[in-house]
Structures are given as structure tokens and as C-alpha cells.
Structure 1
Amino acid sequence: MASWNSVEMEIAYQVLGWLAFFSWSFSFYPQVILNFKRKSVVGLNFDFLVLNLTKHSSYLIYNAGLFFSKAIQRQYHNKYGHDQMIPVAPSDVAFSMHAVTLTVLTLFQVLMYDRGNQKVSKTCISITSIIWLSALVCVIVAWPKHSWLWLVSVFNTIQVVMTAIKYTPQAFMNCRRKSTVGWSIGNILLDLTGSLLNFVQMALQSIDQDSWVNFYGNIGKTLLSLESMFFDLLFITQHYLLYPNKKEESNPTCIEK
């Protein structure tokens, strides 16, 4: 089993991991609080929420599987080498569990609060259905041969794809409304911080091990950080440069959709 070469690097890795966990985890709360204060979810794209739940559920399956399952860890070492460290930290598992919980909570807010005429699109429903049916097929294929590493890698791939897709409806919605009212910028700033910390954390492990397997052995985590940073910068541009300081009207349901 691989071990750390530097105690300082290991401590920095764990500290950065938990800082990323708190940044990413806290990023869910500004939107929940904003919804609660407004008693409205108008301006929050429902497709984003549904796709986000699929994304985080898939990421939880991957992180929990690789972190807890000895069988999957053995298959990982057989593929990438027994001198390589498992690229999933406790903070990754904790974040995934928290993300699923908060996304479900936000979906409950959609059911409770004013949502205007917004609804989940047929395209989103189709994409989500195809993703989970495909995942079920992969489970059936992997089961006889116990191809567990391949199976959790499928879920890792799903979360990468969903990360690329999930932000698109919200970005287009902001563009169409010429406003980011109802979409919390606090969420984006914390998400960007978490993504940067996560990327630096992976770099530290690679430097300590003198190997870049950590990046391509967990390509999903690498792409997650890069994709999140790209979209976070896009939303920051929309909020502060393209559609700045647009005041919400007294009745949030009157906002142009």
C-alpha cells in the first residue's frame, strides 16, 4: 500500500481537502437561504436541480465505492500499480453525501415555494431517464464478472458529463432573462473556491508521489474541478459584468422568464 513521503504534504493535503469540502458544502446554503427569504424559486432553473441530483448521486456512488470497497481498491491497484494511493479522500465522500442531501432539500423547496410557471423540461427528463437506464445496464453487465472498478468509473464518467450539462440551462436562463435574480452568486463564489482548493490538493499528492496517476487515475475529479471553474467564471461574468445590480421586483413571479 502506498504511503506519503512527506508528513507536511500529507497534512496540507488533508487540510486542503477539508477546506474544499467546507467551501463546496457551504456553496449549497446561499441558494437555500435565498429561496427561504424570497419564499420563491423563480429564477432557479429546475433542470439544473434535477441534473445536479443525478450528478451528485453518481459522484457519491463513485467516491463511496472506491473509498470503502476493498475489492474496488484491489482492482484499482492492479490497474494503476500497487505503489499508487487511492485518489479518494474522506472529504470527497463527506462532500458527496452532503451534496445529495442539500440538493434534495432544494428540490423540496421547489415543491413548497412559489415557482411561477417554471417546470422541469422534457429534455431534462429524457436525459435523466437515459442516464439512469444506461447505468442500470452497466450494473447488469458488470455483475457477472465483478468488474466493480469499471462500474464505479462509469458513474464517475456520468458525473463528469452531468457537470458539463447541468449548468447550461441556468446559464441560458440568465441570458434570456438578462438577470441573475434568484440565482445565488454566493453559491458560485464558494464553488469556485472549492474547485481551486480541490485542484491544488490533487497537485500536492502528485508532487509527493512523484506521479501524475492521481490526475488521470481519477480523471472525474480532475475534470470536475476544471468544468466547475469554467462555469463559475461564466456565472461571475454574468452577475457582475453582463447583468449587474438588477433589482428584484416586489413580486418575484413577475420576473421575465
Structure 2
Amino acid sequence: MASWNSFPLEITYQTLGWLAFVSWSISFYPQVILNFRRKSVVGLSLDFLLLNLTKHSSYLIYNTVLYFSPAAQQQYFEKYGHEQMIPVAANDVAFSIHAVVLTAITLFQVFIYERGTQTISKISIGIVSVVWLFAAVCVFVALPSHSWLWLISIFNHLAVSFIQVSMTVIKYIPQAVMNFMRKSTEGFSIGNILLDFTGGVANYGQMATQSIDQSMLFIPSSIII
């Protein structure tokens, strides 16, 4: 496994990584707190929550497998070279676990607080069903050849990802449509968006820093916002 060539860049990488982790992690709390204070989730799109849970679950699978699996890491080195570094840091794993837990808590609030006439649309249920059916098919395709790197790349890698990219593109659409129809953002925490953006900038800075140190082309391997 490759090591850092520059100590200052390594420190910068770690700092940006944990800044992204803190920003993204905190971003979940304003909505949870707002729901708790209002004892209501009216104004928060349930479709957004379902799509967001799917997105972060796929990111969790990618991070944990690539960070902890020697087999997946070996396949990564064989594909990209042993001089390269694994593109998953401890803060990535910590964030993805935290994201799934907090999104699940927010979904739990849907069942215990007032939600008015809001329901999860059949379109979102259909999208999520297709996503996980696709993932299941990929598991069976990867099993015979033990293509673990290819399999987890389906969950997150920009070049081939179906799940991560598609969820990132569409997850905010239901919330934006709801805000437009209601002519109001009441019930939806804007703090989530601001912290999301901050974390995204820090994450891309982190990947750029690693690319500069390793003298390789900067191709983002994840989209997390």
C-alpha cells in the first residue's frame, strides 16, 4: 500500500476529511431536532428520506467493504497499482455509519409524529425497489468470479455507479417539488443544505489533496452530498 509523499498534504487530507465528516454528520441533526420540537414531519418529503436512506446505505456498503476487506483491497491494487492508496479513509466509514443511523432515526420520526396526508409515493418505492433488485443481481454476477471490487463499485464509484449517482441526482427533487407546491420551506431545515454543501467542498478538497500527493488524475470516487 502506498504511503504519503508529503506530510503537510497528509495533514491537509486528514483535516479536510474530518471537516467533511463533522459537517455532514451535523447536517442530520437540525432536521431531527426540528421534527422533535414540532412533533411533526409535515413539510419534510418522505420520498426524500427513503431515497436518502438508499443512497447512504449504498455508500456504507462501499466504504466498509473497501476499508476492511483484504480481498477487495487486493483487487483494487491489482487494478490501479500497488503504489496507489485506498480511496476510503476512517472518516468515510464513520460518516456512512452515522448517516444511515440518523436517516433511520428521521424515518422513525415519521411514524411517531404528525405527518398529515403525506405518504411515500409509488414512484419512489418503485425506484428503490429497482435499485436493490439491481444490486441483488450484481451480487449473483460477482459471486462466481469473486469480483468484489467491481461489485462495490456499483454502489459508489463514479465511473460505473448506478446507485450512488442516481440517488444523488434525484433525492432532493421530491423535497424541491414539495416546497414549490406549498410555497413554503416550513418543516424542512435549511441547515441541512448548508452543511451538506460545506461537507461536499471539503470532501472534494480531500480527494484533490490525495491526487496531488500521489501524482494521479483527480477523478472523484464518491458523490456524497
Query: Which of 193, 197, 202 is the equivalent residue of 1:192?
Result: 197
C-alpha distance in 2 between matches for 1:72 and 1:95: 20
Counterpart of 1:171 in structure 2 is 176
Query: Which of 209, 215, 219 is the equivalent residue of 2:219?
Result: 215
Counterpart of 1:55 in structure 2 is 55
Q: Which runs of 5+ in 2 are unaligned?
A: none
Give the SS at the match of 1:215. coil
C-alpha distance in 2 between matches for 1:149 and 1:192: 29
* Counterpart AA for 1:202: M
Query: Which of 196, 202, 211 is the equivalent residue of 2:207?
Result: 202
Counterpart of 1:27 in structure 2 is 27
Counterpart of 2:188 in structure 1 is 183
Task: Map Cα deviations across residues 47-105 of structure 1 (whole Å, 9 max, x no partner).
Answer: 00011111100000001111111111111111111111111111001000000000000
**Comparing 155-164 and 83-92, the one that deviates more:** 155-164
Q: How does 1:79-90 map to 2 (within 5 A)?
A: 79-90=79-90
* Counterpart AA for 1:17: G
C-alpha distance in 1 between matches for 2:87 and 2:174: 31
Q: How does 1:106-185 map to 2 (within 5 A)?
A: 106-156=106-156, 157=161, 158-185=163-190
* Counterpart AA for 1:37: R
> CA-atom RMSD, angstroms?
1.0
* Counterpart AA for 2:42: V
More helix by percentage? 1
C-alpha distance in 2 between matches for 1:160 and 1:70: 26
* Counterpart AA for 1:185: I
Deviation at 1:8, TM superposition (A): 1.1
- Number of matched pairs: 220
TM-score w.r.t. length of structure 2? 0.95
C-alpha distance in 1 between matches for 2:42 and 2:119: 10
Task: Map Cα deviations across residues 100-135 of structure 1 (whole Å, 9 max, x no partner).
Answer: 000000000000000000000000111111111111
TM-score w.r.t. length of structure 1? 0.84
C-alpha distance in 2 between matches for 1:198 and 1:49: 22
**Structure with max Cα Rg:** 1
Task: Map Cα deviations across residues 190-219 of structure 1 (whole Å, 9 max, x no partner).
Answer: 11110011111111111111112x525x2x
Structure with more relative contact order (C-alpha pairs < 8 Å, separation 6 or more)? 2
Runs of 4+ in 1 over 4 A off after TM superposition: none
Counterpart of 1:245 in structure 2 is none
Q: Which runs of 5+ in 1 are unaligned?
A: 229-257
C-alpha distance in 2 between matches for 1:65 and 1:43: 36
